[in-house]
Amino acid sequence: MNQFLVRLHLAFVALGASFTPARRWRDDRGQATTEYALVLLAAALVALLVVAWATAGGGAAKVARLFDRVIDSVIDKV
């Protein structure tokens, strides 16, 4: 791991002072776009986990019972 970090540092030094990590980390351009992309990835992951849970053995039955209760509740109030 140490050798990797030394080589990475030498690569940044070879590129010049304008590309040092400290200088690039202070630049906020593109921050909102990056955060937006990460939020979308997190939402997609949660959606995939919910779909995986719902299509598994017990999840589908629980979703069906919840849906039935909601529909019955709405019908009772009408």
- In 10 A of CB 53, how many CB atoms? 13
pTM of the model: 0.42
For residues 33 and 26, the answer to whether their CB atoms sit within 8 Å is: no
Indicate the SS3 state at residue 44.
helix
pLDDT value at 27 more than 70: no
State which amino acid sits at residue 5: L
Question: What confidence score (pLDDT) does residue 62 get?
Answer: 79
Running DSSP on this structure, what letter comes out for residue 19? Answer: G
47-51, 53-57, 72-76: least confidently modelled range: 53-57
